[in-house]
Structure 1
């Protein structure tokens, strides 16, 4: 017996009316039956025939098509994907327009510079007419014919005035060799990205001083400053005194709204909690129960790694000896990007085939290994570049740029045709994974990486193929 054609019913809403929409393959018999029932009409919105939806609709349609088609209503009560949306019931509201960023004309870098007669700060930038005009109109900067660039005297009040003049139009960056110790300058740099309207509130300068006295790095101070700045500016109608009196319930509510606003990751919320906890409990010396602040559970994110063959292809694609040496040191010794930038010539011990890492993450020193391949590259590099103090120096001397290293890796990945599996830190992940796969004890890998806890190092057991490749899938038994 020949199977009957099928009519699928879907429930839809159209212009405040409920409809039962009929979907079926082209069939003259079904179309003739529809014409005989005037209550089933063509709907141009859904490009299909539809009938008014009520409790009796499905029964009527089954009766109408009983002898010529099967009526399938299993999808009638299904939730349609295109109509699904998230709805929150209650009084939850999210913060919007917090720390609105300014569109900048371009960026400049402040570079400490020494001429034959005096010291100055050179304002370096890529050729840009808009940037040039802003600097020409700036009262603080002067054109120096000898250097052929705009310059600033290394004077605190002049630099503050310069930042106040230009940061509404330009992004100001610092060269690695320029260290800022003045709290007002740091505050201006931290806040330069945002519109400062009537309600804008800065973090107290004393909070920056507090973090610096605790020996936090510049990047950590910048990060913590941002999260406290965000908190202060979410409560526009509250004064700083009122915000400083908040309890843990308000901070819990703040983080719930933060999650709802942009679906921030667990790591981001945890950073915010740490910064706000430091502000209230450390800086303000509040006795509030910040242990009650809800911390989201951080999921386990596996590091991305390249295979040894892919690492070889990446390195072989680089012709510049300096660039190849930098990436080889990072991978071959398992360094963080900040660690390779701080390496000095005397940190390399070629006789014992090891490398000294000073002041690494957590203010800790450690030793790690040097591969023979890396050592040969280092010797070639040293003969050609003859670095002075730092092993890898930048264009203007001093520390090399993190951005430049990232660009080296990006170009090498593109040239080699290797899939992109992350940034520079993935070289360190690959170092640890390949050591584990070659049989190195996890405790030694922990020491080489400088991890406090073995739990941190154990993440590489989930990435390594050492044991997984020996396991045979049960589906393969079907083929044997």
Structure 2
């Protein structure tokens, strides 16, 4: 249950506990909380476990320069680290850092790895059951692995042939494609999930985790069929925050391991993962003539420049440009 926040003391005293409580009070995504806490800890450790209140812009500059010069992190990684410490100082501690002057990393952003259609289908052919359906949604709908595993019954619209992706990176809802080839399999999966839910209700359980304190606003929603996960876990587990025994969604790590095994079985030597399916979804749409704005909406990118990187991925030869050496 890697998307469920760890419990905090009723009255947080330690610095990191207070920082986590502050983040949750602002209802930031749990992944953001984990990322910010990771980088803040890195910052503190780099300076010999000094308390952040005793440090400032000079120490932040030194740490960010260290990330660029010694750890050779990417541009995006350095930006994430910067965002974390700036959030801590400006929002949590209420202190302005002023203009920071640090060494910017020179490691360029890498082009994403993509599958050709034949490679994607080869990977899928080495999978089966629920994991294959999840991977097919990543490729056919452009979902991240966390988005696929967290799909709820109400997120699948068979009449409109689309998916509503609600529990996303940055909590930005979007609508995307539901491939017609997956309709029957997804219908069967929804029926299975609802049958399992009915069994859980008969056994005295049947509640599901609701995000953003919705359980308080809608007390009965947690038992509603609409809120159940399309891909439920095989067994019930205890929610560490509330102590309630409930059924969560299938674990992301299970799916990642299954996809990695299928990539090896397909004999693909690229540095690929679950996310490669999402990249491949975008590049295949681009190659088929879909406009970049539509792809941006389907992927849920805030900035069109993020989507435009796929124009570099497809390559000049796929845009009708040939080498003068070739006839």
| TM-score computed with the length of structure 2 as normaliser | 0.78
**Could you say if the C-alpha distance between residues 384 and 412 of structure 1 is closer, same or farther in structure 2, counting changes exceeding 3 Å?**
farther
* Number of residues of Structure 1 aligned to a counterpart in Structure 2: 285
1:419 maps onto 2:227 in alignment: no
The answer for the alignment partner of 2:234 in structure 1 is: 395
CA contact (8 A) 2:16 2:37 kept: no
Q: Measure how far apart 1:300 and its partner are.
A: 2.7
CA contact (8 A) 1:393 1:399 kept: yes
Q: Measure how far apart 1:359 and its partner are.
A: 3.5
CA–CA separation in structure 2 for the residues paired with 1:176 and 1:249: 35
**Could you say if the C-alpha distance between residues 178 and 222 of structure 1 is closer, same or farther in structure 2, counting changes exceeding 3 Å?**
closer
Q: Which has the higher contact order (CA 8 A, sep 6+)?
A: 2
Match of 2:22 among 185, 207, 210: 210
Superposed counterparts of 1:278-297, under 5 Å: 278-296=87-105
Superposed counterparts of 1:62-101, under 5 Å: none
SS of aligned partner of 2:90: helix
Match of 1:332 among 128, 135, 140: 140
The answer for the alignment partner of 2:33 in structure 1 is: 221
CA contact (8 A) 1:339 1:360 kept: yes
Q: Measure how far apart 1:211 and its partner are.
A: 1.3
**Could you say if the C-alpha distance between residues 296 and 183 of structure 1 is closer, same or farther in structure 2, counting changes exceeding 3 Å?**
farther
CA–CA separation in structure 1 for the residues paired with 2:163 and 2:108: 34
- Name the one with the larger strand percent: 1
The answer for the alignment partner of 1:99 in structure 2 is: none
SS of aligned partner of 2:173: strand
Q: Deviations over 1:253-295 (max 9, x none)?
A: 2322344443333333222211111111111111330454554
CA–CA separation in structure 2 for the residues paired with 1:379 and 1:285: 51
1:310 maps onto 2:310 in alignment: no
CA–CA separation in structure 1 for the residues paired with 2:41 and 2:54: 16
Q: Measure how far apart 1:204 and its partner are.
A: 4.1
CA–CA separation in structure 2 for the residues paired with 1:303 and 1:246: 37
Q: Deviations over 1:11-65 (max 9, x none)?
A: xxxxxxxxxxxxxxxxxxxxxxxxxxxxxxxxxxxxxxxxxxxxxxxxxxxxxxx
CA–CA separation in structure 1 for the residues paired with 2:291 and 2:65: 42
CA–CA separation in structure 2 for the residues paired with 1:216 and 1:178: 13
SS of aligned partner of 2:325: helix
CA contact (8 A) 2:155 2:163 kept: yes
CA–CA separation in structure 1 for the residues paired with 2:45 and 2:315: 48
1:232 maps onto 2:44 in alignment: yes
CA–CA separation in structure 1 for the residues paired with 2:100 and 2:258: 44
Q: Deviations over 1:71-103 (max 9, x none)?
A: xxxxxxxxxxxxxxxxxxxxxxxxxxxxxxxxx
CA–CA separation in structure 1 for the residues paired with 2:26 and 2:144: 23
Q: Looking at CA atoms only, which structure, 1 or 2, has the larger radius of gyration?
A: 1
Gaps of 5+ in 1: 1-174, 188-201
**Could you say if the C-alpha distance between residues 475 and 275 of structure 1 is closer, same or farther in structure 2, counting changes exceeding 3 Å?**
same
Gaps of 5+ in 2: 198-227, 236-246
Q: Measure how far apart 1:459 and its partner are.
A: 0.6
| TM-score computed with the length of structure 1 as normaliser | 0.54
The answer for the alignment partner of 2:59 in structure 1 is: 250
CA contact (8 A) 2:166 2:172 kept: yes
CA contact (8 A) 1:317 1:416 kept: yes
1:264 maps onto 2:114 in alignment: no
Q: Measure how far apart 1:250 and its partner are.
A: 2.9
SS of aligned partner of 2:83: helix
CA–CA separation in structure 1 for the residues paired with 2:268 and 2:100: 46
- CA-based RMSD of the aligned residues comes to 2.7
Q: Measure how far apart 1:361 and its partner are.
A: 2.0
CA contact (8 A) 1:356 1:366 kept: yes
CA–CA separation in structure 1 for the residues paired with 2:70 and 2:33: 25
- Name the one with the larger helix percent: 2
